[in-house]
């Protein structure tokens, strides 16, 4: 450490190490899925010891849960058209953002039962929130369909890399889906 460099506290060093471990885990789960990701590989990629990974995160399951965590979306409220636009804005953000956490979640949920249960629980909670904001008697079905459309767009773009979708701008994808999402969310007379 040079004379001009400030001393880094132990807490700051730990925070930086945890961040490196989470970044390495996110990349590994996204690339290799749950079953083929190992604590040793994550530690090596993070430039640390496997024992430290276990000390900070406790288990591979806990590490996965943190890196694949579904971030909460904006609270949903208002008329159907506002709810539809909030959902479309959330989809655009997912399509524009860094996808390693999403890819980790998608790959792992398909190959590991525990990961699948965690992802289903998080998605189910999001669907309950969407259903509560949809003014229709079949709100649960409509929320599930919006979720399926969103999940399908993300999987098709980032995991399957479908032609036409993988290189499309997030705004273009949202613009094409807008009428469908509004029709699903809004009450049809």
Phi, psi dihedrals of residue 90, rounded to the nearest 5° = -65, -40
| pLDDT band with cut points at 50, 70 and 90 for residue 68 | low
- Residue 64: pLDDT band by 50, 70, 90 thresholds? confident
Please check whether residues 106 and 60 belong to one and the same domain. no
**Residue 18 maps to a domain:** yes
CATH of the domain at 56: 1.10.10.60
Which range of 2-11, 44-53, 93-102, 153-162 scores highest in mean pLDDT? It is 44-53
Residue 187, pLDDT > 60, answer no
> Please, how many CA atoms are within 13 Å of residue 97, restricted to the half-sphere of its CB?
14
Q: What is the per-residue pLDDT across 96-108, written as a single tens digit (0 to 9) for each? A: 866 666 666 776 7
Q: Report yes or no: 20 and 46 within 8 Å, Cβ to Cβ.
A: yes
My answer on whether 48 and 133 are in the same domain is no
Task: Give residue 38's domain range.
Answer: 10-65
- Range with top average pLDDT, 51-65, 98-112, 126-140, 171-185: 171-185
HSE-up of 38 (CA within 13 Å, CB side)?
5
Q: What angle do CA 11, 25, 52 make, to 5 degrees?
A: 45
d(CA 160, CA 166): 8
57/26 same-domain check: yes
Count the Cβ atoms, other than its own, within 10 Å of residue 26: 24
Indicate whether this model's pTM tops 0.85.
Answer: no
Q: What is the mean pLDDT of residues 19-31?
A: 85
Higher pLDDT, 47 or 105: 47
Local confidence band at 145 (pLDDT 50, 70, 90 cut-offs): very high
| Residue-level pLDDT at 86 | 85
Residue by residue, what is the 3-state secondary structure of 144-157? HHHHHHHHHHHHHH
Residues 84 and 59 in one domain: no
The pLDDT mean for the chain works out to 82
The least confident of 12-21, 25-34, 64-73 is 64-73
Same domain, 89 and 149: yes
Assess whether 88 and 43 both reside in one domain: no
Total domains, the chain: 2
Q: How many CB atoms lie within 10 A of CB 10?
A: 7
Whole-angstrom Cα Rg for the chain:
20
Same domain, 130 and 176: yes
């Amino acid at each position: 450490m040079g004379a001009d460099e400030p001393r880094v506290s132990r807490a700051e060093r730990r925070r930086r190490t945890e961040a490196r471990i989470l970044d390495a885990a996110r990349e590994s789960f996204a690339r290799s899925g749950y079953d083929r990701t190992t604590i040793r590989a994550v530690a090596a990629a993070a430039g640390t010891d496997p024992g430290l990974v276990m000390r900070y995160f406790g288990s591979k399951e806990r590490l996965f849960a943190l890196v694949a965590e579904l971030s909460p979306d904006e609270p949903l409220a208002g008329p159907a058209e506002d709810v539809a636009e909030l959902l479309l804005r959330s989809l655009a953000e997912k399509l524009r953002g860094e996808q390693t956490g999403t890819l980790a979640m998608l790959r792992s949920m398909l190959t590991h039962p525990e990961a699948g249960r965690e992802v289903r629980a998080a998605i189910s909670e999001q669907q309950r929130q969407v259903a509560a904001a949809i003014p229709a008697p079949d709100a649960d079905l409509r929320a599930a369909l919006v979720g399926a459309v969103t999940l399908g767009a993300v999987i098709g773009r980032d995991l399957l890399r479908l032609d036409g979708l993988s290189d499309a701008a997030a705004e273009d994808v949202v613009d094409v889906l807008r009428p469908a999402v509004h029709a699903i969310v809004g009450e049809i007379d």
